[in-house]
Structure 1
C-alpha cells in the first residue's frame, strides 16, 4: 500500500468505518493516491416508492419526503428511490445530501429536477433570468462539508434542461444560448455540486439533461465516479460532465460521457490546485473533450488519463487557459488513447480567449502523450505563450491521421526521442500513421439505458406452441411430464346438446334420494357411491351425469376424488339461471363455518366429510377454505352453471358476515371490520382434465383458484365460452389452465385490480393461457381510469423477500431449507423462489381498464416484505437471483437457464396478436 498523507489516512479510515467503499487504483501509475476497489452499494435505510408515472412527473413534488428521508438516514446508509410498477418517477426541488448519507436511485426509477426556477432562487428572484451577473441559482443536489456521501444506482437523475421552465417561454438551454448571443450571464442551476467534502462516491448512476454543469467538485479530497453515464445533447451550452476544481485524489473510471461542453474539465481555481487525478477506462462521445482548464491559476498537477476513447468530441485531449486565469499545469500523462471524428484531436493552447487581459501566464510542462492515436484528420494545436514561456511536451508512439493541419508555436517537443524546439514560425511535426485496428475495440456505442419491455410479445413461431392441443398434451411432475393427449373441444360436453341424465337436482321436486335430489351436494354424494359400485362391478359406465334444474342452490358443493368422473350441467343455455351460491370468506372462524354448513355434510360420504373436517377446526378457514365449489375429482365437468361466492355481492353486511364473536376476534379485542377478503367461488384442487363449458364464476377477490396436487406438478383445466369476474387476483394458482373464447371481467370496486395471480413452478411448461378471450370491465370510474393490471406473479408462501430491502434496520432475507421471518432476518426456500408464475394471452381483446404500458405488475411494492419484481422470462429469474447474491448454479443446483427451463417453459408472461381499447 502506498504511503498516504496523514490527512488522507484519516479520511480513508473514516470512510471505511462508515461502510463507504473506496476504489483501488486500477493502474500502478494512477495519480489518485488512494488504494481503491469498485464501490459497493451502501445498506439502505429507507425505500421511497414513486407515486407518479413519467407522464405525470411534473404534477407534484417529492422534495419534502426525499429530504426528510435523507436527513433521518444514519451515516453509512442510503435512501433508495424505487419504481412501483408504472409509477417510476420522482420530482424534486433542490436537495442536500448530508454527511455520510447516500442517495440510491433504483434501476427503473427516474428522479427529475423540477423546472420551477423559483425553487432554486437564492433570494434575488433572478434564477431563470439572464443578467449581468450569474450564479444566482442553487444547484439541484448539494453535497457540502460531507464525508463518505454518494449517489448510487442504475437509475436516472434527469435535469430537464430541455423542458420549458415554469412561467417562462424557454428552456434552461434556450436561456443559455440567448445569453451567449446577448453577451450576458444565464442564471440556471447546476446539477450537482460537491463542496469541501471527502471520500464522495458516484456509482453506476445516469445523469442526463443537466441545465448547466453536471458535476462540479470544489475543495474535495477523495472523489470516485465509477460506471457513471452522463448524457446530454451536444448543443446544450455549458453542460460540462465532471469538473474537479481545487480538488485532489479524484478517480473517474469506467464511465461514459456525452454532453454539450467539456466531457471532463480539470480546473485549478481560486481555492487551490487540483492534483492527483486519475481518468481511467472511459469513453467520451459528443462534447468538448478531455480538458484541463480554462482556470489553471492555482495550478493543475499529477494527472493521468489512461485507456480513453473519444468519438466525436470537438477537441480531443485539451489543455486550455489564457492570461486572465492561467497558471502552472504539470505532470500530465495521456496513455492508450484513441480519438476519431474530432476537429482538434490534440489541443494544447495558452490563448484560449484571444481577447483575455491579465498577467496570469499559462505554463504547461512535463506533459506526456504515449500511445495516442487520432484516426481521422483534425487540427493539432501545440501553442505556448511566448518564447519565455514555452510548452514542454513529449510524444511517444503518437499517431495522427494524414492531412491534419498543425498549429505549432513556442514549444519544446520531444517526438519519439527527437527533441524539437518550436519557434514562432514552426514547421509541421512528422507523426506516425495510425493503425485503426488497435483502436477498434475501444470505440463502443454509448450504453443506452435498456428499458424493460413491460409488454413482451411472442413471435408467430412461439405462438404455435400455445394451441389447445400443445398446452394440454402433458401432465405429471414438472420436467418429467408424460404425454397424455387431451382435446376437450371434441368431448360430448361441447358437441352433444343432449347429454345423458343419471341424476336430477330440482329444489321444487320431491327428492327420492336415489336419482332425484333437492341439493347439488346430495346428488354428488350419490354419484360418488354409485361410481364406486359401477367400478367394482366392472360396469361399462364411464361417467355419471347430474342434470341441475334452474334455480339458486344456496349450498357448498364439494367433489372429492371419484371412481367415475362426474358431469354437472343444466339444459338452460343462460348459465345465470342455474346458480350454486354461498357466502364464505377467508376470515370466517372455523366454528362459524361449522355452524353454518355442518348440517349439509352430516350424512355425506366419508370422502366428502373429510373435506369438511379439514376446515371446521381451523381458527379461520383461510383462502383455501372459502371455495363454494371445491373440485378434487379428475375429469370433473360442468356446463351452463354459475358458481358464486356471494360474500359482499349484494351489500357489505358486517353484522351477518362478521358478528362480534365470529370474525377472528378473541376475548378483549375489538371486532374485525370486514370490507373485503379472499372469497373463492370455484376451486379446482389437484384434479386433472377438468372441463368447464359455458359456466360463470362470480366473486371479488380470489374468485377462481386453480391448484395443483403437488409442487411442480402439472394438472389441467379447460374453460370454454365461460365467464369469470372479480377484482383482485381473481384467477390464481399453479395449474395449467386454458381459457378459450371466454370473458374475463374486472370489477372496479377497488382502485387497483389484478386479473391473474399465477404461481406456476419455473419448470412447468405452461401456466394460464388465454386465447380469443375478451377482457372486459364494469364501466366503473376505477376501471375507466385505465390503471388495472392483467396480473401479478403470486410469491406463494414467502415469508421475506431477497429482491429488495425493507424499511427495517438490519433486514436480511437469505436462502435456506425453510421459510421464516423473525425481524429483522428472514429465510426463503428454493421451492418458494421457483413459484415464478406464468400467464400468456393470445388473440384477445383487452379493455381500456388495463394499463397499456405496464399491464403486468410486481408482487406488491418495494419496501414491503412481500415484494418481488415482475419476471417475464427465465433470463429475468436468473438475473434477479444473481443480482441479490443467490448463485443459481452453486446454491440452487441449476447448470444453466436453458437447463432449468427451455422452450415454452422459459416464457413467463407474454402476449400475442391482442388488441386493446
Structure 2
C-alpha cells in the first residue's frame, strides 16, 4: 500500500517556535549557516580524514539492464550464491544481480574485492524480502552456528574472512556482526528490496542490536529500499575509522526504535521516511546516532524527508530526532577532539507528531553526555565541546 506523506513547504528558518540560533537544547541554523550543508559538500571528499581528497561523487538514478548477469530464484538459489558468482567473475565492470519475488532467509556478505555490484528486486520492495533473525547479545560461537548451519560459508569462499572475523571474536557477544546484509565492497547499489532483521519484538526493550543492513565502504547508493528492525536498523559505516565512506539513500523507508540510523559515514538521505515505533520500546526512542570524526564537518544530511512516529508516540510525545554516538568512550568519557562527535543537519523536512518538542535531541549514546549546542553570535558549528545536531526550515507538528 502506498503511503501518502505531507508535503513540506516550509521556507522560514523557524523550528519549535524558535528562530536561529535557537536554544541550547534545540539549535536552529540561520540561512547563512546552512549554506555549506548541501549534498554536494557531503559527497565531495574521499580518502583519509587527515588528508581528504577532492573527489566529487554525483550518483544518478540506479539503472538496471534488461538481462542481469545473475538471477536469484532462477540461476541461483540464494543471494549469497549470486554474490559469490559475481566475485568469481572479477574485473572492474559492474555486475547485476536480479532477485525474483520471494522471501530469502539468511545472511548476505559482500566482501571487499567484489566488482561494482547492483542488486535489485523485481516488482515492489515488499515483494522481495531478505530476512533473518540475529541478536547482537549472542556469543560469537552461537552466532556462527546460527549463521552457518549448513556450511554455506566455507574456507576459500569469497565471504569466508568476513564470517571468520565474527566467528572468532574474543568478546562476550557478537555486536555489530548481527546484521542480515553486510557489505564491505565499494560502489555497491541496492534497489527495490526489503531487508528485515526479524528479531523485532521478540526481546525486551534492552540493548538488543539487530541490524538489517551494514555498509562499510565508499560510494554506497540505496534507492527504493525498506529496512526494518528495532535497534540499529541501518549502519552507514566506515570500516576504516581513518577513511571517509560516502552513502546516499533515496526514496526509502527505515523503521526502528533505538539509534536505527547510525554510523560514521558521510551520508545523504533524500525523500526517505524514518518511522519510530513503540511496539518494543514505548518511550524515549531515537532515530539518528551519527559518530562522525570530530575534525570532519560532514556526517548525516537529511533533506526533503519525513520523520514520523506511530500512534502511541503521538499520544505521548517522547521520541527524539537523534543523539551523538560517543563511540569508544565508555571508559574514558567524552574526550573533545578525540571521541567522535556526531554531525547531522535535518533541513527542509517534515517532522511529524510524537517527538519531544522541548528536547528533541537525546544525551549521547555510550557516555550519556548531555546535549548542548552553541547559540552565541560567533558560534563555531564544529566546536568539539558542543553537539553538532541542527535543524533548518522544517515543517510539521514537531517543528512548530
Residue 246 of structure 2 aligns with which residue? 716
Per the alignment, in what secondary structure is the counterpart of residue 504 of structure 1? strand
Deviations 1:195-228 (A, max 9, x none): xxxxxxxxxxxxxxxxxxxxxxxxxxxxxxxxxx
Question: Cα–Cα, structure 1 residues 694 and 764, in superposed 2: closer, same or farther, change >3 Å?
Answer: same
Cα drift, residue 740 of structure 1? 0.3
Mapping of residues 836-851 of structure 1, within 5 Å: 836-851=341-356
Residue 460 of structure 1 aligns with which residue? 31
Cα drift, residue 621 of structure 1? 4.1
Mapping of residues 439-518 of structure 1, within 5 Å: 452-488=23-59, 490-491=60-61, 493=62, 496=63, 498=65, 500-506=67-73, 509=74, 516-518=75-77
Deviations 1:478-519 (A, max 9, x none): 25211111112x24x1xx46555110001xx4xxxxxx1010
Residue 162 (structure 2) pairs with residue 595 (structure 1):
no
Distance in 2, matches of 1:499 and 1:630, equals 27
Deviations 1:114-139 (A, max 9, x none): xxxxxxxxxxxxxxxxxxxxxxxxxx
Distance in 1, matches of 2:211 and 2:375, equals 30
Mapping of residues 537-686 of structure 1, within 5 Å: 542-572=93-123, 574-598=124-148, 599-603=150-154, 605-618=156-169, 620-649=172-201, 651-652=202-203, 677-685=208-216
Distance in 2, matches of 1:675 and 1:907, equals 26
Cα drift, residue 617 of structure 1? 2.8
Structure 1 or 2, whichever has the larger Rg, is 1
> Mean Cα displacement is larger for which, 714-723 or 846-855?
846-855
> Mean Cα displacement is larger for which, 749-758 or 519-528?
749-758
Q: Which runs of no fewer than 5 residues in structure 2 stay unpaired?
A: 1-20
Deviations 1:394-453 (A, max 9, x none): xxxxxxxxxxxxxxxxxxxxxxxxxxxxxxxxxxxxxxxxxxxxxxxxxxxxxxxx9943
* Moved beyond 6 Å, runs of 4+: none
Which of structures 1 and 2 has the larger relative contact order (alpha carbons within 8 angstroms, sep 6+)?
Answer: 2
Cα drift, residue 711 of structure 1? 2.7
Mapping of residues 388-399 of structure 1, within 5 Å: none
Residue 389 (structure 2) pairs with residue 858 (structure 1):
no
Residues 874 and 908 in structure 1, CA contact (< 8 A), matched pair in contact too? no
Cα drift, residue 852 of structure 1? 1.1
Residues 748 and 783 in structure 1, CA contact (< 8 A), matched pair in contact too? no
Deviations 1:575-599 (A, max 9, x none): 1110111011111122222222223
Distance in 2, matches of 1:843 and 1:692, equals 21
Cα drift, residue 801 of structure 1? 5.8
Question: Cα–Cα, structure 1 residues 759 and 676, in superposed 2: closer, same or farther, change >3 Å?
Answer: closer
Residue 112 of structure 1 aligns with which residue? none
Distance in 1, matches of 2:172 and 2:57, equals 38
Structure 2 length as normaliser, TM-score?
0.85
Deviations 1:651-690 (A, max 9, x none): 45xxxxxxxxxxxxxxxxxxxx8866111110112x0000
Aligned length: 370
Residue 288 (structure 2) pairs with residue 763 (structure 1):
no
Residue 364 of structure 1 aligns with which residue? none
Residues 702 and 726 in structure 1, CA contact (< 8 A), matched pair in contact too? yes
Per the alignment, in what secondary structure is the counterpart of residue 35 of structure 2? helix
Cα drift, residue 624 of structure 1? 1.3
Residue 277 (structure 2) pairs with residue 737 (structure 1):
no
Residue 6 of structure 2 aligns with which residue? none
Mapping of residues 323-342 of structure 1, within 5 Å: none
Distance in 1, matches of 2:225 and 2:152, equals 25
Residue 529 of structure 1 aligns with which residue? 88
Residue 389 (structure 2) pairs with residue 909 (structure 1):
yes
Residue 381 of structure 1 aligns with which residue? none
Per the alignment, in what secondary structure is the counterpart of residue 274 of structure 2? strand
Distance in 2, matches of 1:871 and 1:605, equals 50
CA RMSD of aligned residues (A): 2.8
Question: Cα–Cα, structure 1 residues 802 and 907, in superposed 2: closer, same or farther, change >3 Å?
Answer: closer
Cα drift, residue 778 of structure 1? 2.1
Question: Cα–Cα, structure 1 residues 851 and 616, in superposed 2: closer, same or farther, change >3 Å?
Answer: same
Q: Which runs of no fewer than 5 residues in structure 1 stay unpaired?
A: 1-449, 510-515, 536-541, 653-672, 804-827, 880-896
Distance in 2, matches of 1:554 and 1:736, equals 30
Mapping of residues 194-209 of structure 1, within 5 Å: none
Residues 44 and 57 in structure 2, CA contact (< 8 A), matched pair in contact too? yes
Distance in 1, matches of 2:354 and 2:207, equals 21
Distance in 2, matches of 1:728 and 1:839, equals 17
Residues 740 and 771 in structure 1, CA contact (< 8 A), matched pair in contact too? yes
Question: Cα–Cα, structure 1 residues 848 and 504, in superposed 2: closer, same or farther, change >3 Å?
Answer: same
Structure 1 length as normaliser, TM-score?
0.38
Residues 747 and 783 in structure 1, CA contact (< 8 A), matched pair in contact too? no
